Amino acid sequence: MDELSRVGQSEGVAPTPTSPAAPTGGGRRAINRLHEPGASATTSPQAFAWSRDADDDDAPVGLNFGAMLGGKARETTEISTVNPLAQAFRAGPPSGLANALALGGMVAGCAVGAFALGPSGLLVIAALEALAFAGGLLFSRAALQEVERAKEELEYEATHDALTGLFNRGAIMRKLEVALDGHLKESPVAVLLGDVDHFKKINDTYGHQAGDEVLREVSQRMQLSVRAEDSVGRYGGEEMVVVLRDATTERAGTLGERIRSAVCGRPFATVAGPIPVTISIGVASTDRLGRVPPAELLRAADGALYRAKESGRNRVLAAAARQR
């Protein structure tokens, strides 16, 4: 066991969301598979169908009359309604064959309108097709962007601590497991286990709001002190973990000392006024301990942290090499 002295600054520093619910409206939806080529296709004057392909999220959508009048081309969704434009926004974005079918459907729809209602029918159907096409495109893009944003937010909440913004315990442990899985002899993995000194006294003296501000500021100073490839997480309470790739005990100790200096270098501004804060850090690396499970590496760092606190706090100590 050895104490690492202070050094300079020479070293480099949530269920998968589903598509949003479609707007409600009058009418009936049912999944219907079209007939084989040559078979008759039964439609009503109010029956419309969307042609869609789930493999392409960016393609536009269109009302597919042609697919309903022709042979079996794909599975479609039948919409029976007196308000086809409103129901149009229920569908998702298609592509490929769907685009061709949608275009054919538009042409066929215009032809049906012209045949049934004359020139005025042609204009009405053409306008309806154009509005549905443009509206479906805008809606599908907006809906997909909203789904992506919701997915990212859920993933962030599932892996990050709400107070500090650091990785939560589960996420930082997975980071350590991944780092150790890719561990090579020439690329050691290290962990730093830090504990804010006398944190209970800070809470008791200045209040829990000030204590929360201290934890947030400690987290920020830690993140600014490590390298881009390192991962910082909240292990629990006032304990923080840093997972270091390609870090020997000496290098990890250097980074630990940088964190210690950043924390104690200036008082923390809080609602209760400036508060001086220090941190004790334990270091453990596979260059001394060999290839060990994540729990054993953390136990070694925890033992070094305990000795740092017993030795007076506000210091960085490294775990001793494992006996061979």
Mean pLDDT, the chain, integer: 73
Please state, as a whole number, how many other Cβ atoms lie within 10 Å of the Cβ of residue 185: 9
Q: Which residues contact 10 (CB under 8 A, 6 or more apart)?
A: none
Q: Is 90 exceeded by the pLDDT of residue 125?
A: no
| Ramachandran angles phi, psi of 313, nearest 5° | 70, 175
How far is the first Cα of the chain from the last one, in angstroms, to the nearest whole number? 16
**3-state SS, one letter per residue, for 4-47:** ECCCCCCCCCCCCCCCCCCCCCCCEEEEEECCCCCCCCCCCCCE
Rounded to whole angstroms, the Cα distance separating 124 from 274 reads 72
Of 65-74, 118-127, 132-141, which gets the smallest average pLDDT?
Answer: 65-74
What residue has token string 């993933």? 155
Q: Is 80 exceeded by the pLDDT of residue 66?
A: no
The reported pLDDT for the residue numbered 53 is 43
SS3 for 232?
strand
Q: Is 70 exceeded by the pLDDT of residue 19?
A: no
Among residues 70, 79, 60, 78, the alpha carbon closest in space to that of 132 is found at 60
Query: If 0-12 CB within 10 Å is exposed, 13-18 middle and 19+ buried, where does residue 191 land?
Result: buried
Q: What is the pLDDT of residues 231-275, one digit of tens each?
A: 999 999 999 999 999 999 999 999 999 999 999 999 999 999 999
Structural domain boundaries in the chain = 28-158, 161-318
Query: Of the ranges 17-21, 61-65, 154-158, 295-299, which is most confident?
Result: 295-299
Q: What is the pTM of this model?
A: 0.59
Rounded to whole angstroms, the Cα distance separating 257 from 192 reads 10
Among residues 190, 91, 84, 96, the alpha carbon closest in space to that of 139 is found at 91
Query: Of the ranges 1-10, 41-50, 122-131, which is most confident?
Result: 122-131
Q: What is the pLDDT of residues 174-225, one digit of tens each?
A: 999 999 987 555 689 999 999 999 999 999 999 999 999 999 999 999 999 9
The reported pLDDT for the residue numbered 116 is 56
What are 223's strand-pairing partners? none
Banded pLDDT at 171 (limits 50, 70, 90): very high
Query: Of the ranges 32-41, 66-75, 79-88, 181-190, which is most confident?
Result: 181-190
Q: Is 152 a catalytic residue?
A: no
From 129, 213, 238, 257, the catalytic residue: 238
Q: Which CATH architecture has domain 161-318?
A: 2-Layer Sandwich (3.30)
The reported pLDDT for the residue numbered 135 is 67
The reported pLDDT for the residue numbered 299 is 96
